[in-house]
Amino acid sequence: MKKQVAEIKELDAKIKNIRQDIKQLILDLPDNPCLKRISKNCFTISSKDLNDNFSAFFHDFKKQYEKIAEIIDKSELENILPHLNFIIENGRTQKDYTHFHPDVRANLKKLLEN
């Protein structure tokens, strides 16, 4: 039984590493080129780039990537890709209907294709 316990611990460590690697790849995706970041939580953006969505979250790609990383943390490993594909295809999450910028979805799609 000790061997199996050791294998379970090894698999658990691998799963944590895979999850962390996926999250880091997403967090490293490019920021919104239309905004000028002042600090981590503050930016300016031209009103012409807002279109008809005035939500700061919608235009802050880094916050959107953090939301996706949070979804990855809460998902079982086998559900991560379906969740990411749902966001890409539908522009929102399944549970809380968080909407994502089309460029965030495009960046996520490119990442999954590589």
Over residues 19-28, mean pLDDT:
96
**Whether the predicted pLDDT of 20 surpasses 90:** yes
Confidence label for 106 from pLDDT (cuts 50, 70 and 90): very high
CB neighbour burial string for 90-102, b if at least 16 within 10 angstroms, e if fewer: eeebeeeebbbbe
Domains in the chain: boundaries: 2-113
In the Cβ-directed half-sphere of 48, how many Cα atoms lie within 13 Å? 0
From the list 9, 17, 19, the residue with the least C-alpha distance to 74 is 19
